[in-house]
């Protein structure tokens, strides 16, 4: 049975439109986060109703647990090999469909899974659509080994890109460090605005203690933006983004 009461209608609309793209026999990547969780529930409902035969890989332990609890069988990415489509959430989506991800500390596995997919579809609400990335703090997964050294190297890289002086904060849950599914730590870069995302992505990737950053550049093929009234807007790469969406429709 499909979810309804208590579920954010914008997330539900996006999730339903994305799940409608799923075809019998597909190999799917399942994203992480609250919007992806709505999608996983919709997918499980469709599978139960229609008996679809799917092969699914999860982008986090949390998603694997949710999917399994709903009767979906999760396999490892390596067992499946290559995916037809990954459906995932995002923290920010810009007009070129570049993304910030990792608000749930899952961006490392999410990027590995998206990179192994023919198509990445993002499900989001209008609040995620931005003109320029960076208001959402950029998550960077780093090794525990040499953590403070890596933080210094990140600060140096930011200085070189004229993005210095911003907070580079370790992500905590209460007073404990957030530990990712891969056993690493998270630094959140509070940049406000990222004028040159490719340059920042290159600089972060060149730092040895950085495992993966949350910039997803050129990976998303389609963003499905759900609205509170249950309608959706589908944004394909290079398509213009509706000015109303950038104003977040007052949401």
Q: What does the per-residue mask of binding to ligand R5P show for 105-124, with x meaning CB under 6 A? A: xxx--x--------------
**Which pair of tokens denotes residue 236?**
């394909």
**Interface residue with ligand R5P, options 54, 58, 72, 104 (CB under 6 A):** 104
Q: Which is nearer to ligand R5P, 11 or 151 (CB)?
A: 11
| 41 counts as binding ligand R5P under rule CB under 6 A | no
Q: Which stretch binds ligand R5P (CB under 6 A): 18-26, 27-35, 46-54, 75-83?
A: 27-35
Q: Distance between CA 9 and CA 36 in Å, rounded? A: 14
Helical packing angle, 34-50 and 9-19, nearest 10°: 50
Q: Which stretch binds ligand R5P (CB under 6 A): 82-90, 149-157, 200-208, 224-232?
A: 82-90
| 42 counts as binding ligand R5P under rule CB under 6 A | no
Q: Distance between CA 21 and CA 50 in Å, rounded? A: 14
The reply to whether 162 belongs to the active site is no
The annotation status of 239 as a binding-site residue, yes or no, is no
Question: In the chain, at which residue ranges do the beta strands (DSSP E only) sit?
Answer: 27-30, 55-58, 83-88, 92-93, 99-100, 117-124, 138-142, 168-170, 172-173, 176-177, 185-189, 210-213, 215-216, 222-226, 232-236
Name the site residues for ligand R5P (rule: CB under 6 A): 31-36, 88-91, 101-107, 110
Active-site positions read 110
């Amino acid at each position: 049975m499909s979810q309804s009461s208590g579920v954010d209608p914008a997330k539900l609309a996006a999730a339903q439109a994305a799940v409608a793209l799923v075809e019998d026999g597909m190999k799917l990547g399942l994203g992480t986060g609250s919007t992806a969780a709505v999608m996983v529930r919709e997918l499980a409902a469709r599978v139960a109703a229609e008996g679809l035969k799917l092969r699914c890989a999860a982008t986090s332990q949390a998603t694997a647990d949710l999917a399994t609890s709903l009767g979906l069988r999760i396999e490892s990415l390596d067992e499946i090999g290559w995916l037809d489509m990954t459906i995932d959430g995002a923290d920010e989506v810009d007009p070129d469909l570049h993304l910030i991800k990792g608000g749930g500390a899952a961006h490392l596995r999410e990027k590995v899974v998206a990179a192994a997919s023919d198509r990445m579809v993002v499900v989001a609400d209008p609040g995620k659509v931005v003109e320029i990335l960076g208001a959402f703090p950029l998550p960077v997964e780093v090794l525990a080994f040499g953590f403070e050294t890596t933080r210094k190297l990140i600060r140096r890289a930011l200085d070189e890109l004229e993005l210095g002086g911003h907070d580079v904060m370790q992500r905590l849950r209460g007073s404990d460090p957030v530990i990712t599914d891969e056993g690493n730590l998270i630094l959140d870069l509070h940049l406000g605005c990222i004028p040159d995302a490719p340059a920042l992505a290159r600089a972060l990737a060149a730092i040895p203690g950085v495992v993966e950053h949350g910039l997803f550049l050129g990976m998303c093929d389609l963003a499905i933006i759900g609205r509170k009234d249950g309608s959706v807007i589908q944004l394909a790469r290079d398509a213009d983004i509706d000015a109303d969406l950038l104003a977040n429709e007052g949401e």
